[in-house]
Amino acid sequence: MAIDKEKARETILHLTLKKLESAGLEGTKARDLASEAGVSVGSLYNIFGDLDQLIMTANSQTYDDLTAAAQACLTDARSNNFDILNQLYGLSETYIRFIEENNNRWMAVLNFNRSKSKGLPKWYTSKQYLVFGIIEDVLSELDGLSNPEERSLTARALWASVHGIVTNVYSHRVGDERAKKEAWSEIRVIVPAVVQSLSPKETIAA
Residues 125-166 have pLDDT tens digits of 999 889 999 999 999 988 878 888 999 999 999 999 999 999
pLDDT score for 200: 55
| 127, 64 Cβ separation under 8 angstroms | yes
Largest CA distance in the chain: 69
Q: Where are the beta strands (DSSP E) in the chain?
A: none
Q: Which fold has domain 1-49?
A: Arc Repressor Mutant, subunit A (1.10.10)
pLDDT-flagged residues of the chain (< 70): 1-3, 200-206
Residue type, 70: A
Residue 122 CA to its chain's centroid (Å): 17
Q: What angle do CA 188, 74, 131 make, to 5 degrees?
A: 80
What distance in Å separates the CA atoms of residue 174 and residue 179, rounded to the nearest whole number? 8
pLDDT score for 1: 44
**Residue ranges of the domains in the chain?**
1-49, 60-203
pLDDT score for 205: 45
pTM of the complete model: 0.89
